Every structure is written in C-alpha cells, then in structure tokens.
A and B are shown apart, each in its own frame.
Chain A
Amino acid sequence: MKIYFPNFFQALLLIVLFTGGSAAFANEKSFIDEIKGADAPFDNRSVKLVRPVTLETVLAKEEYQGGAFRVLARKQHIERYKCSSCHVPGKPVLVQQGFELTHGDVVINHGRKGNELSCIDCHNQEDRDYLEDKKGRKIDFDHSYQLCGQCHFRQKRDWLGGAHGKRVTNWAGDRVVYNCASCHNPHSPRFEKRFPATYSVPLN
C-alpha cells in the first residue's frame, strides 16, 4: 500500500500535465484554425465608410467568390471617345490623319518582340466604339477584362479572386476594384523602369 500511493499521485500528476500540455498545444494552433474555421459570411456593408468611392464605376459582368462587384469605368478616360465620331462606316480615315489627330502617342509594345499585336487584334474593325475578342464578341471598353483574360487567364483568375490588382480606397463596403487598363497601358502593358520614389537610410 505504501508503494501504491506515490504511484497514484504520480499518475494524477501525469494526467494533469498531459491534459494541460495538450490544451497549450491546441492554443498554439488555434490562430490559423480560427481563420480556417471562420466560414460565416461577413457583412462588408456593416462597416460605415468614411470615404466612399467617388470615381465612376460599372457593375462587372462576372462574379468573384463573394458575388457581384464593381470595376472602375474606363470610357471617360479615353480621350476623344466615342471613336465613331471619326470612324464612320463607309468613310475611310487616312493613316496620316490618325497619327496627326489622336493615335500619334500609341506605341505598341504588347506581345512577343517582332510579333506584336496589331490594332484589330483587340479593336473591333467595324464598330470602333467597341473591342472584339477572338470569338468575335463585341466587348465594351469598360469591361476590357473580358478581352484581356482570353490570353492572360491566370491574371484574370487572380484578379477576380483578389490576388492580382487591388481594391479602390476601402477594404470594406461593396467591392470596387481597379480595371485592367486603370493600371496597365493596354498598348504597352509592362510598367516602365524608373527611379524609386524615395530611398532608405540605415536603421537606428
């Protein structure tokens, strides 16, 4: 009997230690588990916004994981839109006039070197107020992601999900994201090399 008592207490101690230890272990894991377990939809509109997006937006024709969302409109940023004010069917526009009037600044640097895209790869040849994809669908300038995404489908997938591009102004509220052409020049989509905005000094 005398030998039995310490054993019993030892066992009790072990049990206490073991359960305590496993509880601590569960605590350490809980942060990521908590995120993974957070499946309840969050009402983004419940956050009162102090700075709603004032830029003009359009409702996107596709959905992200949270449903419908909006993209920045593009058309009012295109100088001399509508294009049909010059490009009237049946009235050809000379290349010379085009260079002088509007398209002189366009440099095509899109596609492989020596095999760059031409205008009508993206622009609708008949109706210049629209773009055109490879299936011949008319695409609105405000919804150019439908056109860009036929080649850049990985970027488009990430853009829809939120890993490419970014939201405008707010993380909460209705989702508004930048359009493809808000950041990229469609004629020369890669960002140009430039000096950084500032520099860093050694840490204190």
Chain B
Amino acid sequence: MGFTKKDKAEKIIEDVLEKPSSRRTFLKGASIAMAAGSAALATGCMPSGDDSSSGEMQLRWQEYFKKHYRLMTQKEKDETVDRLERLAKIQDDIDVQIGTEPPIENVLYGYAFNISRCEGFMECVTACVKENNLDRKTNTQYIRIFEMEPGKLDPSTGDGQFYHKVPVENKFYMGVQCFHCENAPCIKACPTKATWREPDGIVVVDYNWCIGCRYCQAACPYFGRRFNWGKGEVPKEELTTKQHYLGNRKRPMGKMEKCTFCIQRTRKGRLPACVDACPTGSRVFGNLLDPDSEIRYVLKHKKVFRMKENIGTQPKFWYFID
C-alpha cells in the first residue's frame, strides 16, 4: 500500500516536470545558441591554442541547463558526470570519479545509535568531514554529539560544544544527524523538488536543482540540514575523490546539503564513514529488509526509541540502550 501511493506521487511529479514547458524549451534552445555563440566568441577573441578556457565555458553552459537528476536518462547522467569530472580537472586540477550508482534492490537503509556506548570521542565527526568534503572554512559538520545529563533525552538540553577529556562520569553522549525520515517534512517543504527520498530510503539533494531558499532547513525538526555558505574549501590533499552525484561531490555555493548515509560508500556495500570510524561500536548500520542484519537484531532485541516520534516523521534512525 505504502509503495503504490508513493509511486503514484512520483508519477505525478514526473508528469508535471516533464510536461513540455515553453519556458524550459525556450531556455534550452537559447542556451545552446548562447553556448555556441560564446564558444565562437571565445575562440574568435582568444589566441589560438588556449582551448581550456573556452572548453570550460562550454562545459559550464551545458551544466547550467541540465535536467533534474530524476528525469535524466542514464546517458544524460553519464554526460553530466563526465562534464563535472572535466571541470574539476580544468578548474582545480584534480581527478575525481563521480558515480551515479542506482539504489540496490530490496535494500532499505537503517541506522541505530547506542547511547550507552558512545563516549563522545567525536571520531565520527572528523571522518564525516573528510569523507564528505565538508567546507573547512565555515567548519560545517553533519553530525553533532551532545553531552547529556542522565535522564534527559532531548539534545537541546545537552551540551553540543564540549571540549574536554571524555567520557565524563555520569554523562552520556547522543549523536544527531539527518534521520532520513520516511515521511520527511523537508521533502514537502522544498519548492523545487530538489530533495527527495530514494527507493533505498536515503533522502538526497540535487545540488543543481536546489535554489538555496532553506525552507527545508526550517522544516526539519531535527536540525539535520546544513546550508553551504561558502564555496566548500577543502585542502587538495584531503579531498575524497571517490564521489557520488547525490553525495560528496563539489557543491556550488548557496546550496543545502546534509548527511546522505555516505551514499557514495553505502551503494557499493561499504559502511558509512561515521560507522567505520567509531572506536566504540556505538553505530549500527544495515539493511532493514534483511532479517539477519545487525540493524534488525537491534530493533528486535534492544530497547529502542526515535527522536520526536510523536510528530510522525518516521525517522530511520533509532537510539538504543544496552
């Protein structure tokens, strides 16, 4: 039942987006004409032999007028990925590999966090920053760890900016990030349909379709979303070059971004960077549709709860205690 309704909704979205829009077709035609014109202009004005700048301009023009990710055919995805890789080479002289791996069949990702094991070492945060090429200048972090008083379960009562030796006696630690809600308010809030739920449950953002209005940030009850204030400055030697179109690729300035369960890793069978880095084993990740998976064991045998369960967002992120 749940699927059919979702499929129907997706169909409607596709219909609306795909309906021949005179504005779109006009812009597209104009873009091709302008690209051709600009390329001609550039080659006409610049000394011959300097192909890179005109090539870059052409690539950027084509990038401006590409489709929404969900409406692209695989060929169009490959083309935009190729353009992005070439642009990264021209602009920053780095070789990146951007993937467009589709969701895996019969997989629904789920996450569990053990609040009685986490000791606040923050290894997950550094691993996440590195893996997802987060802006070092504004110190963007997808994960926050709160130092909590016993008996309190609301992170707003905790200390999110601790820096002292951990663990502290009689405190516990609680990690917060994007919970990838099944019924996500951010998706409903987005006016351009730039954020959606993938079939494997990951809520993703099309960075090129996002207009940076931040409605989704206001809609998220968990403070899971981050706004890209800067250009995303990452030291070249620290850059993660294995990327995904919907994941850790270079985000333009002024776009929303957030945890994607490390889509560039998880769709290839790997664990997210935070799980890989956790020294205490507080983080459990796996396939909710696999009855033998670790996450299913936790849901079946442990005392679990989700944050703000009463508001009906259905997060796929559970907290549990030993």
Contacts and interface: CB of A to CB of B under 8 A. Distances in A.
A161 B301 contact: yes
Contacts, number: 170
B269 A172 contact: yes
Interface in A157-176: 158, 161-167, 169-173
B281 A31 contact: no
A191 B276 contact: no
Contacts of B275: 166, 171
B291 interface: yes
B297 to A, nearest CB: 4
Q: Which secondary structure dominates chain A's binding surface?
A: loop
B161 interface: yes
B2 A27 contact: yes
A154 interface: yes
A200 interface: yes
B29 interface: no
B141 interface: yes
B192 interface: no
A58 to B, nearest CB: 20
Interface residues of B, number: 72
Contacts of B314: 31-32
Contact of A197 (B117, B123, B284, B290): B123
A168 B270 CA distance: 9
A200 B125 contact: yes
B161 A197 contact: no
B104 interface: yes
B119 A50 contact: no
Given A166-B278, A201-B161, A42 B1 contact: no
B121 A65 contact: no
B299 A166 contact: no
A173 B269 contact: yes
A170 B286 CA distance: 9
A50 B139 CA distance: 30
B287 A202 contact: no
A167 B120 contact: no
A39 interface: yes
Given A163-B114, A197-B125, A169 B276 contact: yes
Contacts of B183: 28, 31
Given A202-B161, A204-B138, A170 B271 contact: yes
Nearest to B302: A163
Contact of B269 (A41, A47, A199): A47
Given A31-B182, A200-B141, A38 B229 contact: no
Given A47-B104, A48-B268, A199-B161, A166 B123 contact: no
Interface residues of A, number: 53
Most buried by B among A51, A171, A193: A171
A38 B291 contact: yes
A51 B269 CA distance: 8
Interface string B304-319: 0000000010100000
A183 B279 contact: yes
Contacts of A65: 291-292, 297
Contact of A198 (B1, B106, B126, B281): B126
Given A47-B269, A202-B161, A39 B223 contact: no
Contacts of B236: none
A164 B320 CA distance: 11
Interface in A31-64: 31-32, 34-35, 38-42, 44, 47-51, 64
Contact of B284 (A26, A166, A183, A196): A166
Interface of B: 1-2, 5, 104, 106-108, 110, 112, 114, 117, 119-123, 125-126, 129, 138-139, 141, 144-145, 160-167, 182-183, 223, 226-227, 229, 266, 268-271, 275-276, 278-281, 283-299, 301-302, 312, 314, 320, 322
14 contacts: A30-B2, A38-B289, A48-B268, A48-B269, A49-B268, A65-B291, A67-B292, A162-B295, A162-B297, A163-B294, A164-B322, A169-B270, A171-B286, A197-B121
Interface of A: 23, 26-28, 30-32, 34-35, 38-42, 44, 47-51, 64-67, 154, 158, 161-167, 169-173, 178, 183, 191, 193-204
